[in-house]
């Protein structure tokens, strides 16, 4: 039996008007190789031809759309000659996508895009159906020379430029890559234990001390006063780049690591004394 809700739905359909140029939303009912059918909660269904779905040349409707998905589209014609309302998602995108992209930029939303092609000084991807440019300098945290090698790769990016008047959308993978690298480094630093002795390599020498690479992309500073029991005028008196040294982690503060070669040597010497002389039969 029909309920009042059924009648209410029919009344809503009968009083509603849809005009050319309106942006409407509907649920996907069917997807074919030629078109997508939407339920617009109206007396006539909405039809989007495949060529009017997306500017992305690799967009595959059958793979990316499912029954029940909600799509917003612009009314092109209220009657396509077959009793359907002809729609264009591309046209709606020109209005709606830019607002969404601007919101993404303001909120620094991280999204994944697939690189479609290489162009002079960068690569091209699509986001919200809009063609986007990623400069080679913004593709990765590291220097990128061969942009062709990135075609087909998925890259996590943020939006850095939105200019609908110039149809300009610019993305950056470098911002995300640097942030993720920093988070990973902070995690590794958090796993370090103050008081422990580790081995490292002298990375660089400064008048005030030496930076030691202790592995996993982590470096710490040995202040000149923590290098030796001797009073040194310059760390280079006893150290050179590439030297392997044992260091004690003496402090971690604000992700900065303070090390000591002198205390590591004292600790090692004390352990040897406690073990006592080797016994021979």
What separation in angstroms does the CA of 74 have from each of 23, 27, 40, 98, 150? 4, 14, 12, 15, 34
Share of the chain above pLDDT 90, in %: 60
Name the 3-class secondary structure at 10: helix
For residue 281, what pLDDT is reported?
A: 45
Q: What is the pLDDT of residues 27-63, one digit of tens each?
A: 999 999 899 999 998 888 999 999 898 887 778 888 8
| CA atoms of 59 and 130, how far apart (whole Å) | 12
Residue whose entry in the numeric block shows the structure tokens 């092109």: 76
pLDDT in tens, 98-114: 989 999 999 999 999 99
Beta strands in 164-243 (DSSP E): 168-172, 197-206, 209-213, 219-223
Given a cut of 90, whether residue 146 has pLDDT beyond it is yes
Supply the DSSP symbol for 228: -
Instruction: Name beta bridge partners: 135.
Output: 122
Order of all β-strands in the sheet with 122-127 = 111-114, 154-163, 168-172, 130-135, 122-127, 117-119
Across the chain, mean pLDDT equals 88
Asked whether the predicted pLDDT for residue 15 surpasses 90, the reply is: no
With a threshold of 0.85, does the pTM exceed it? no
pLDDT tens-digit series, residues 210-262: 999 998 889 999 999 999 988 999 999 999 999 999 999 999 998 899 999 99
Residues contacting 227, CB < 8 A, separation 6+: 209, 210, 235, 238, 239, 261, 262
**Those residues with Cβ within 8 angstroms of residue 206's Cβ, 6 or more apart along the chain or in another chain:** 235
Q: How confident is the model at residue 173, as a pLDDT?
A: 96
């Amino acid at each position: 039996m029909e309920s009042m809700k059924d009648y209410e739905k029919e009344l809503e359909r009968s009083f509603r008007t849809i005009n050319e140029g309106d942006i409407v939303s509907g649920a996907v009912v069917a997807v074919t190789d030629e078109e997508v059918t939407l339920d617009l909660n109206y007396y006539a269904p909405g039809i989007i031809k495949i060529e009017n779905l997306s500017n992305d040349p690799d967009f595959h409707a059958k793979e990316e759309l499912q029954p029940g998905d909600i799509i917003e589209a612009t009314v092109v014609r209220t009657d396509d000659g077959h009793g359907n309302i002809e729609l264009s998602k591309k046209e709606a995108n020109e209005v709606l996508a830019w607002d969404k992209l601007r919101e993404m930029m303001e909120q620094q939303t991280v999204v994944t895009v697939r690189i479609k092609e290489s162009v002079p000084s960068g690569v091209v991807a699509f986001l919200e159906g809009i063609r986007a440019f990623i400069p080679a300098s913004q593709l990765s945290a590291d220097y990128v020379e061969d942009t062709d090698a990135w075609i087909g790769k998925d890259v996590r990016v943020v939006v850095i430029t939105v200019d609908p008047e110039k149809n300009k959308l610019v993305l950056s993978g470098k911002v995300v890559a640097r942030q993720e690298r920093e988070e990973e480094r902070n995690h590794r630093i958090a796993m370090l234990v103050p008081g422990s002795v580790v081995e490292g390599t002298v990375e660089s020498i400064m008048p005030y001390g030496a930076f030691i690479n202790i592995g996993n992309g982590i470096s710490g500073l040995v202040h000149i006063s923590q290098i030796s029991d001797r009073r040194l005028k310059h760390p280079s008196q006893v150290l050179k780049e590439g030297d392997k040294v044992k260091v004690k982690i003496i402090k971690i503060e604000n992700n900065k690591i303070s090390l000591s070669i002198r205390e590591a040597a004292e600790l090692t010497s004390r352990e040897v004394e406690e073990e006592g002389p080797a016994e021979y039969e």
